[in-house]
């Protein structure tokens, strides 16, 4: 699961959440290499002709577009959310993919965890409310992971 709980003391919990990355850097390099080889395999019959460079150029541009799209997706999913729960306070910090940080904190007693099964941007949308604000948590997780996270948050924040 793309989140992990740590417990420091009796009432001090911390959960870190991040998006699942199914294609690590090594897998990305292997994918690009195999794609390059597969795209160039039919070109061997055109070696030495004027058509080789025309088709090779288009294939190279297409491969560069795939490279760019995968790298952009990887960068956009570079998000980290950290929820720290102490005896008195709940604090959520989020590092966005552009490097900006957002934070929210509330008295633990007034913190409310809500699960919105429908009507949110994703099914089983989890929100924390308190101090006059409502914030989302774990919207990038899969649906079963959000359900599990909700159940764990309800147990910890009571």
pLDDT, block means (10 residues), the chain with 158 residues: 77 88 90 93 88 92 95 90 92 93 93 89 91 92 92 89
What whole-number distance in Å separates Cα of residue 104 and Cα of residue 67?
Answer: 36
Cβ–Cβ < 8 Å for 21, 76 = no
Same structural domain for residues 85 and 125? yes
Same structural domain for residues 87 and 110? yes
Q: Of the candidates 76, 95, 111, which is a domain's last residue?
A: 76
Counting DSSP H helices and E strands in the chain, the numbers are 3, 8
Predicted pLDDT at 3: 83
* pTM passes above 0.85: no
Side by side, the strands of the sheet bearing 80-85 are 3-9, 12-17, 80-85, 89-95, 101-107
Predicted pLDDT at 11: 66
Cβ–Cβ < 8 Å for 14, 83 = yes
Same structural domain for residues 102 and 65? no
Predicted pLDDT at 110: 93
What whole-number distance in Å separates Cα of residue 137 and Cα of residue 106?
Answer: 14
Predicted pLDDT at 112: 94
What whole-number distance in Å separates Cα of residue 63 and Cα of residue 47?
Answer: 20
Structural domains in the chain (count): 2
Predicted pLDDT at 5: 87
Same structural domain for residues 67 and 86? no
Residue 46's domain comprises 25-76
Predicted pLDDT at 1: 62
Give me the half-sphere count of Cα atoms (radius 13 Å) on the Cβ side of residue 130: 19
Predicted pLDDT at 10: 66
Same structural domain for residues 43 and 93? no
Mean pLDDT of the chain: 90
């Amino acid at each position: 699961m793309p989140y992990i709980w740590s417990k420091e003391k009796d009432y001090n919990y911390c959960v870190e959440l991040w998006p699942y990355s199914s294609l690590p850097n090594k897998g990305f390099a292997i994918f690009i290499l195999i794609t390059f080889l597969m795209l160039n395999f039919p070109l061997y019959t055109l070696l030495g002709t004027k058509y080789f460079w025309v088709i090779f150029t288009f294939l190279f541009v297409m491969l560069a577009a795939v490279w760019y799209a995968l790298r952009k997706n990887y960068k956009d999913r570079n998000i980290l959310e950290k929820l720290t729960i102490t005896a008195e306070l709940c604090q959520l910090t989020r590092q966005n993919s552009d490097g900006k940080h957002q934070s929210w904190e509330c008295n633990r007693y007034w913190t409310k965890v809500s699960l919105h099964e429908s009507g949110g941007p994703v099914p089983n949308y989890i929100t924390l409310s308190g101090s006059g604000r409502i914030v989302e948590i774990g919207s990038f997780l899969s649906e079963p992971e959000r359900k599990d996270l909700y159940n764990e948050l309800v147990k910890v924040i009571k």
